[in-house]
Amino acid sequence: MSKNVLLAISFLLSISLFIFFMCFILYKEYRVNKIQNDLKRQLADKSHKEKFSILKFFNINIEQIERKFLKAGINADVENIIFSYLLIATLILIIGIIINNTILSLIVPIVLGAIGYAYIEHKGTNRVIEINKQFINALIDIGDYLRIDSNLSNAIKNVTPNVAYPLKGEFIYIIKEIDSNTNILDALKHFDYRVNSTVVNTWVDSMLFANDKRANVSDSCIKHSAKVRKRLTQNEKLNAKLSGLKFISIMIMIILLGMAFMMFGSSPEFKDFLHEPFGRVLALITGISYTVTTVFIFRKINKEVTIL
């Protein structure tokens, strides 16, 4: 066994050991965060010090990524996930160098990252659509309760048992914050930040405005519910049209891939070209271009669907 291979293997073992200890630390931190959530102290503890962040230390903003995780209902430490992904990508790169397949070791991390990002985007979009539908019906019940009792927090507590998930989980979180001595308006702002929905955002803004102007909160809920219900009906019609556009995009992608495989199987020149370094790089660029274009189209479609 050559010296270079032994050096690569020793480096690989050291990276693996580092990943193991990192996973152990992440698990311990997860247990601590879980206990904090159960004790309802995460948002109520004003003396809690913000933990050290390497990315923030280098002035790298990950707030948008954190919001995507929250939008998808994933309560996790985004920085730890990013570093875990980078460690896995490094490990794959080392393995690719050892087996003399650098191109594959570059493609796999990109594909894994794209799949993970697409999953979070898809889950977040579906979750927002579901919350929007549930929220409209919940607003009617909240408005009815407010006619009896003008206390908004009591209205949310009374409505929560009749609400389905995922909105029920968000309402439970609001109740936990209120029970932890968080102001109802601050709890609503946190709710708006987590869900990242236009429907929720406009309702929270109307509640803040009604509180500032001492307006009738019950009437604001009912009026807002009627407006959103009308816009949701229009959005469902738009969703049906855009779903057809998604299907067309997928079919175009399948046809292009089919043509590529046919050329690979029937043309020796094409096969030889792909075995050359320049051919592999060109195929990689082409695949990334197709993937990025498809993801971009889907994101634009999902954005049109979720914006009411």
In this predicted model, what pLDDT tens digit does every residue of 186-238 receive, in sequence order?
999 999 988 888 888 888 888 888 777 777 777 777 777 777 777 666 666 66
Q: pLDDT per residue over 60-96, tens digit each?
A: 667 788 888 888 888 777 888 888 888 888 888 888 8
Please state, rounded to an integer, the average pLDDT across all residues of the chain.
73
* Same domain, yes or no: 222 and 286: no
Position 106 in a domain: no
* Same domain, yes or no: 141 and 62: no
Does the pLDDT at position 149 exceed 50? yes
Parent domain of 297 = 234-306
Query: CA angle, corner 30, sides to 28 and 31, nearest 5?
Result: 65
Report the sign of the C-alpha dihedral through residues 99, 100, 101, 105, in that order. positive
Q: Is the pTM of this model over 0.75?
A: no
Report the sign of the C-alpha dihedral through residues 130, 132, 133, 135, in that order. positive
* Same domain, yes or no: 199 and 238: no
Q: What is the pLDDT of residue 175?
A: 92
* Same domain, yes or no: 207 and 271: no
- Cα-Cα-Cα-Cα torsion 204, 65, 302, 118, nearest 10 degrees, comes to -150
Residue 170 binned pLDDT confidence (cut-offs 50, 70, 90)? very high
Does the pLDDT at position 302 exceed 80? no
Portion of the chain with pLDDT greater than 90, in percent: 5
Task: Please give the C-alpha separations between residue 33 and each of 27, 36, 42, 77, in angstroms, as whole numbers.
Answer: 10, 5, 8, 10
* Same domain, yes or no: 270 and 284: yes
* Same domain, yes or no: 286 and 219: no
